[in-house]
């Protein structure tokens, strides 16, 4: 493989400017081939395969594998039962996969496929997706252009819940493996397919069981590369970018309870519990987090890529990037580069800013009774370079100001409620920002990031710029950190005419068929490229 290794020295701060800040890997095509594999590559381009692929994805969408926030225990809550028919559908639809790969069912519905390689010294490749979809509220069904579980194909898109999040990736993975089996491909490197079933409700029963199972079976840092759902290709600054997610923000929900004396509402105090809680909400919203681009934040790398390759990259950003790369220290407490970049809008701002959102509030039970207990829930997505500790400290400080003002006892994260108190607690789902996948090689050795980049540019052309991306949300990979340092959250299918991520989580979710077919081709090529690589 020919790939560029002119990299900035990651141990030097600031970055050196004598070498490219955003080197691009040459397109990478599998070199080990046979007549059957060449035929497979041609088949994946045919209308017959296109029609078959549409049927497969449509059929998967028609099975309503919804996961709800209040799901009970697996095996007891009947709403889990729908995953049985979905597994049966996969078995019927992909017979070669099920006859060739070992299938293990973990915690009943998680599906773990293993295609044993011929060289056990090579670390496995692991591909991920999830079977579940977000529920469709009954009140929104009539708003859909086509019924949400119809799998309707209109000549360009397959419509329905899960079509783009992420049954498309799940089906594409299985289609790629089915085609490889049919072509007689015999992997040197073991291939693992890990399919959870509750990613939309934090993945505790699916990925939360799959990852420990794999860790016990293979050991710590035993996987060469992991690819899960995630960021997609985009156009920005006059150039096309592929943005595989190499990082995720952290996550913590904080519950705040305001306890104040009750009484008859005909004799109200100046401020009751709801009023005090509202004042605290206003204070929280009035004190947002600053935009800060940590050296490890992948968006900083994207900015360097934009400055180097995009014809319409803003001059102000380029100037601030140059200043950052040439000045070792700054006396300013403000990150002016991050502040300027954040002006592009909230979707960009929150790639480099801890977000704060009050999502739930409840208080009071009767119109003539003052509320004795008011609760709010504040969601945080923690910026790369920050920690959950800093988030908890800040919100405790803000709550302390209100507690002091109204002579209430503050009990942050270690106390119990009293009749006149503000109590803070965080929920079990406390997640630090993910370890950042390395993208800069310190040697001439090929890396998984190089292979992903080369595979992508082979599919879409050398005009496509591959740059590190970051996820504002979290995927099932949160459970897999111990298995590999090379984790990518990436949806390789690309349809420029499709609206962003295909209306995921909302009305009229759909998936462009061309993007889906490209995902199949990408998966097949990536498996082969990883199989040939020395990583």
Domains parsed from the chain with CATH numbers? 35-232+471-532 (3.40.630.10), 249-426 (3.30.70.360)
Angle at 114 between CA 483 and CA 91, to 5 degrees: 130
Residues 6+ apart with CB under 8 A from 191: 101, 114, 115, 117, 124, 125, 126, 127, 177, 527
Average pLDDT over residues 335-357: 96
User: 331: pLDDT confidence band, cut at 50, 70 and 90?
Assistant: low
CB 207 within 8 A of CB 192: no
* CA–centroid distance for 192 within its chain: 19
Tally of residues, the chain: 535
Q: What is the mean pLDDT of the chain?
A: 93
Q: Is position 165 annotated in a ligand binding site?
A: yes
CB 481 within 8 A of CB 435: yes
User: What per-residue confidence (pLDDT) applies to 293?
Assistant: 97
Residue-wise pLDDT tens digits, 2-30: 333 333 333 333 343 446 789 999 999 99
Q: Would you say residue 332 has pLDDT above 70? A: no
Two tokens, residue 458: 């082979």
User: What per-residue confidence (pLDDT) applies to 445?
Assistant: 87
Average pLDDT over residues 302-309: 96
Q: Is position 200 annotated in a ligand binding site?
A: yes
Average pLDDT over residues 78-85: 98
Peptide bond into 166 cis (omega under 30): yes
* CA–centroid distance for 336 within its chain: 27
Residue-wise pLDDT tens digits, 222-243: 999 999 999 989 999 999 999 9
**Residues of 495-534 as b/e, b for ≥16 C-beta within 10 angstroms?**
beebeebbbbeeebbbbbbbbbbbbbbbbbbbbbbbbebe
Name residue, tokens 């490890």.
296
| H/E segment holding residue 174 | helix 167-182
User: What per-residue confidence (pLDDT) applies to 182?
Assistant: 98
Residue-wise pLDDT tens digits, 434-480: 999 999 877 788 999 999 999 999 999 999 999 999 988 899 999 99
Q: How far lies 143's CA from each of 40, 140, 430, 494, 499, in Å?
A: 41, 5, 36, 26, 18
Name residue, tokens 């088949």.
43
Higher pLDDT, 137 or 333: 137
User: What per-residue confidence (pLDDT) applies to 11?
Assistant: 34
CB 147 within 8 A of CB 61: no
Q: Is position 228 annotated in a ligand binding site?
A: yes
Average pLDDT over residues 415-442: 91
Q: Would you say residue 185 has pLDDT above 90? A: yes
301 catalytic per annotation: no
Residue 239 bridge partners (DSSP): 236
132 catalytic per annotation: yes
Cα separation, 213 vs 207, in Å, equals: 9
Q: Would you say residue 109 has pLDDT above 60? A: yes
Residue 466 bridge partners (DSSP): 242
Catalytic entry in 175, 178, 199, 335:
199
pTM (two decimals): 0.93
**Cβ neighbours of 298 (radius 10 Å):** 26
Residue-wise pLDDT tens digits, 135-149: 999 999 999 999 999
Average pLDDT over residues 116-134: 98
User: What per-residue confidence (pLDDT) applies to 1?
Assistant: 36
Two tokens, residue 90: 């996969």
Two tokens, residue 260: 């104040």
User: What per-residue confidence (pLDDT) applies to 53?
Assistant: 98
Percentage of residues of the chain with pLDDT beyond 70: 95
């Amino acid at each position: 493989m020919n790939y560029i290794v002119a990299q900035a020295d990651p141990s030097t701060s600031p970055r050196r400017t004598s070498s490219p800040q955003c080197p691009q890997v040459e397109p990478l095509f599998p070199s080990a081939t046979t007549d059957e594999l060449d035929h497979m590559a041609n088949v994946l381009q045919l209308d017959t395969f296109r029609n078959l692929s549409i049927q497969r994805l449509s059929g998967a969408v028609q099975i309503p594998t919804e996961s709800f926030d209040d799901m009970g225990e697996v095996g007891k809550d009947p709403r889990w039962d729908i995953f049985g028919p979905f597994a049966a559908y996969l078995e019927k639809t992909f017979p070669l996969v099920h006859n060739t790969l070992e299938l293990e069912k973990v915690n009943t519905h998680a599906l773990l496929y293993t295609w044993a390689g011929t060289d056990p010294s090579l670390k496995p490749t692991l591909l991920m997706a999830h079977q579940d979809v977000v529920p469709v509220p009954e009140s929104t069904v009539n708003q859909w252009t086509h019924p949400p579980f119809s799998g309707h194909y209109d000549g360009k898109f397959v419509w329905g819940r899960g079509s783009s999040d992420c049954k498309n990736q799940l089906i594409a993975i299985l289609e790629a493996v089915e085609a490889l089996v049919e072509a007689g491909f015999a992997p040197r490197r073991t291939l693992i397919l890990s399919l959870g079933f509750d990613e939309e409700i934090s993945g505790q029963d699916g990925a939360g069981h799959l990852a420990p199972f794999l860790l016990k079976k293979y050991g710590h840092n035993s996987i060469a590369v992991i690819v899960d759902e995630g960021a997609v290709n985009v156009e920005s600054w006059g150039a096309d970018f592929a943005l595989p997610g190499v990082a995720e923000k952290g996550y913590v929900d904080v519950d705040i309870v305001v306890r104040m004396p009750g009484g008859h509402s005909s004799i109200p105090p100046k401020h009751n519990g709801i009023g005090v809680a509202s004042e605290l909400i206003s204070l929280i919203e009035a004190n947002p987090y600053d935009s800060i681009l940590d050296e490890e934040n992948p968006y900083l790398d994207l900015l360097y890529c934009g400055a180097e390759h995009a014809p319409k990259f803003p001059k102000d950003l380029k100037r601030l990037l140059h200043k950052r790369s040439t000045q070792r220290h700054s006396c300013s407490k403000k990150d002016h580069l991050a502040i300027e970049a954040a002006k592009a809008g909230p979707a960009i701002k929150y790639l480099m800013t801890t977000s704060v959102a009050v999502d739930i509030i409840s208080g009071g039970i009767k119109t003539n009774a003052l509320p004795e207990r008011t609760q709010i829930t504040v969601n945080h997505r923690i910026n790369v370079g920050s920690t959950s500790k800093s988030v908890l400290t800040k919100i405790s400080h803000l709550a302390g100001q209100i507690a002091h003002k109204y002579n209430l006892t503050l009990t942050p994260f270690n106390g119990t409620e009293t009749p006149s108190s503000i109590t803070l607690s965080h929920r079990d789902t406390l997640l630090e920002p993910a370890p950042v996948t390395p993208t800069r090689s310190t040697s001439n050795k090929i890396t998984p990031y190089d292979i992903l980049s080369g595979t992508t540019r082979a599919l879409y052309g050398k005009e496509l710029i591959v740059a590190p991306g970051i996820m504002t949300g979290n995927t099932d990979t949160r459970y897999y950190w111990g298995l590999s340092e090379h984790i990518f959250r990436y949806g390789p299918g690309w349809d420029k005419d499709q609206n962003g991520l295909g209306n995921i989580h909302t009305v009229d979710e759909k998936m462009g068929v061309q993007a889906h077919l490209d995902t199949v081709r990408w998966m097949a090529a990536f498996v082969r490229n990883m199989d040939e690589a020395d990583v």
